[in-house]
Amino acid sequence: MDQAATSFPPPPPVPENAEVLNSFGLALLRVGHAGQAVIAFRKALALRPDFRPAHVNLASALEKTGDRAGSLAQFRAILALDRHLEAMTRHSATLERDAGDVEALNALGKALYAIGQREEALARFRAAVATAPDYIPAGLNLGIVLGEMDRVDEAVASFRAVLARDPASHAAHIKIGELLRDQGHYPQALAHLQQARTLRPDDAATHAALARLLRETGEIEAARQAFRRAIALAPDRLDSYAGLIRISRLAADDPALLALRALAEKADSLTEPEQIDLHFALGKALADIGENEEGFRHLLKGNALRRRSIDYDENRMFKTMERVRDLFSAQAIENIARSGHSSECPVFIVGMPRSGSTLVEQILSSHPDVYGAGEIADLSHAFRDGAARFPAWKTLAPLACLSEEERRHVAEDYLQRLNARVIGWQGDNAPSRITNKTLENYFFIGLIHQLWPRARIIHTFRDPVETCLSCFSIPFDDLDFTFDLGELGRRYRHYQKMMAHWRVVLPEGTMLEVRYEDVVEDLEASARRIIAYCGLPWNDACLHFDKSRRPVRTSSLEQVRRPIYRSSIRRWRPDPQTLRPLLDGLGTEAQQD
């Protein structure tokens, strides 16, 4: 049995070198840690996507973990890699004879892109577009690569150029629609996705993309219909089932649930990502109809599959937390906060996922003076750019090393990013408060208070076991600690240590703590307390947050479209033996929170 399926010892540090990572993976395979070997080989391929030996070894490691479908898919990837390398040779020879051959430029770009050489691919696509602006395939490929490189404005411009020449380009409409959705430009995104649906009414991917946008903008019934249409068109696409179940409670005889059960019978034939989608979807769907034990068994399978492909070192994370606590003493915070920026605009909502944070932001954003920006990376980006500008920022305690002017620059940079996100507010009618609901900003509370002593910091929390089980039920894209019950419990316990530290070192009244169960029990009292803390006059709209049409992209997007409900408190739990890793990870102190 693969030891990594049941325990996840942190691997020793390995240099970020594809050859070394490949050798490390082979060593892990030899001692029976196939799951950890998969991680090593994937890291090698992330550095060098064209490194054939790592591809071959990854296929072998996947086979040893029992992921036969994944292993077969990897062997297909090896064959494709060989084809791409052969195509590169062939098209390069063509371009030596005719440097302006636009089809060869585009084909070479596609081959380079396929093996992970995106900058080189970008250069070929640009050359093709410059040579023949009306050659649509190159324009589309240019936009796709720019979008994946997070150069969104350039990508949108590339797709707009394609549409100027070919207004009926389905691919351009769907790609620009998804980019605009990611930027929060929902009306424009909707127009493009609807046009894509008109052009190809039988394309399942188009219906699924439209459903995701409708779901986020609160058009829940329209989103359900779009997901169901996507399922009807492509019954084997697991992501559409997952999207539907996220916003629906399926009856036991619902065709979608029956189809999922049938797919579960042949799960071994699915790829690993498909199996993950399948198990998480069934986990929720079965719990919704009261089949809790079977549903949780699917969650255990889905989480185990997801965890074995993740490189997460909890010890390194806990040491970072400890370092932060050591650096940010009460005196250190007080000394520098005196010269912080005077703005009261920022509101930071922090805590663990599934702790009621989306509900609190929805209450706040229902106030006419508040703009809810959601989960945004603006704070970390301001820190990143500060590190590039000021060498002292590269440490965890940079503010003590910076001048007051330099600290003000970083504070202003964040505020500019924040204001740029405000959509639909005109002239002087600007929000007096803008929320940032990136929960892991609890790491940066000391920095936040130093930069903006008058900023509001709202810590949302909930029963630890309820929080962790809720996290365990969702296949988060970017939360590596949620896929193993023991790791989840330990992460929660260390998060509690961080919050306990901030309670001690921050001046009294700096942070407001909001318990989810209290909000459910008495919405008005809790809402009034939140609004008062933010220095705002009361507005009754805050009690009708479920009527807000503001876009919501978090895992709670469907719940906050409904009035307060109590069914999420003390829900069904698995037996103590199954819960033991989580309870041990939480520890006695956390369980009594």
Domain locations along the chain: 341-421+429-591
pLDDT at 183: 81
* Averaged pLDDT score across all residues of the chain: 87
With residue 582 as reference, give the H or E element that holds it.
helix 576-591
Percent of the chain with pLDDT over 90: 55
Closest CA to 310 of 60, 35, 58: 35
Q: Given a cut of 90, is residue 65 above it in pLDDT?
A: no
Q: pLDDT tens digits for 202-253?
A: 999 999 999 999 998 888 999 999 999 999 999 999 999 999 999 999 999 9
Q: Given a cut of 80, is residue 391 above it in pLDDT?
A: no
pLDDT at 483: 95
Closest CA to 327 of 405, 408, 400: 400
pLDDT at 563: 61
Q: pLDDT tens digits for 266-285?
A: 998 888 889 999 999 999 99
Answer with the residue of higher pLDDT: 69 or 544. 544
pLDDT at 568: 61
Enumerate residues 6+ apart whose C-beta is below 8 A from 294: 286
Considering only the C-alpha atoms of the chain, give the largest distance between any 2 of them, rounded to a whole number of Å. Answer: 76
φ and ψ of 435, to 5 deg: -90, 150
With residue 372 as reference, give the H or E element that holds it.
strand 370-372
Amino acid identity for residue 424 in this structure: G
Closest CA to 514 of 355, 344, 354: 355
Distance between CA 451 and CA 338 in Å, rounded?
9
Q: Given a cut of 50, is residue 590 above it in pLDDT?
A: no
Q: Given a cut of 50, is residue 2 above it in pLDDT?
A: no
Distance between CA 498 and CA 217 in Å, rounded?
34
pLDDT at 557: 52
DSSP letter string over 302-366?
HHHHHHTT----HHHHHHHHHHHHHH--HHHHHHHHTTS-----EEEEEE-TTSSHHHHHHHHHT
Distance between CA 113 and CA 145 in Å, rounded?
8
Distance between CA 305 and CA 67 in Å, rounded?
9
pLDDT at 567: 60
Mean of pLDDT values over 493-511: 96
Q: Which of 82-86, 133-137, 498-502 has the lowest mean pLDDT?
A: 82-86
Distance between CA 382 and CA 447 in Å, rounded?
12
Q: pLDDT tens digits for 436-474?
A: 999 999 999 998 998 999 999 999 999 999 999 999 999
Q: Which of 46-50, 492-496, 524-528 has the lowest mean pLDDT?
A: 46-50
pLDDT at 472: 96
pLDDT at 395: 55
Mean of pLDDT values over 464-487: 93
pLDDT at 19: 84
Distance between CA 500 and CA 450 in Å, rounded?
18
CA distances from 47 to 22, 78, 85, 227 (A): 11, 16, 17, 36
Q: Given a cut of 80, is residue 289 above it in pLDDT?
A: yes
Distance between CA 60 and CA 98 in Å, rounded?
42
Res. 59 pLDDT band, cuts 50 70 90? confident
Percent of the chain with pLDDT over 70: 89
Res. 382 pLDDT band, cuts 50 70 90? confident
**CATH architecture of the domain formed by 341-421+429-591:** 3-Layer(aba) Sandwich (3.40)
Q: Which of 3-12, 116-125, 362-371, 379-388 has the lowest mean pLDDT?
A: 3-12
Closest CA to 314 of 488, 502, 498: 488
Q: How many CB atoms lie within 10 A of CB 266?
A: 8
pLDDT at 551: 63
Res. 94 pLDDT band, cuts 50 70 90? confident
The tokens of 260 are what?
């999922």
Range of 22-31, 81-90, 500-509 with top mean pLDDT: 500-509
**CA angle, 579 as apex, 8 and 64 as ends, to 5°?**
35
Long-range contacts of 314-319 (CB under 8 A, 24+ apart): 314/10, 314/481, 314/487, 314/490, 314/491, 315/10, 316/10, 317/481, 317/491, 317/494, 318/490, 318/494
Closest CA to 238 of 286, 281, 268: 281
**CA angle, 201 as apex, 198 and 204 as ends, to 5°?**
130
The tokens of 291 are what?
């089949």
Res. 255 pLDDT band, cuts 50 70 90? very high
Res. 403 pLDDT band, cuts 50 70 90? confident
Mean of pLDDT values over 480-491: 95
Enumerate residues 6+ apart whose C-beta is below 8 A from 476: 353, 482, 555
Q: Given a cut of 90, is residue 51 above it in pLDDT?
A: no
Res. 562 pLDDT band, cuts 50 70 90? low
- What three-state secondary structure class fits 370? strand
Dihedral sign for Cα atoms in the order 334, 335, 338, 340: negative
The tokens of 532 are what?
């008062």
Q: Given a cut of 60, is residue 1 above it in pLDDT?
A: no
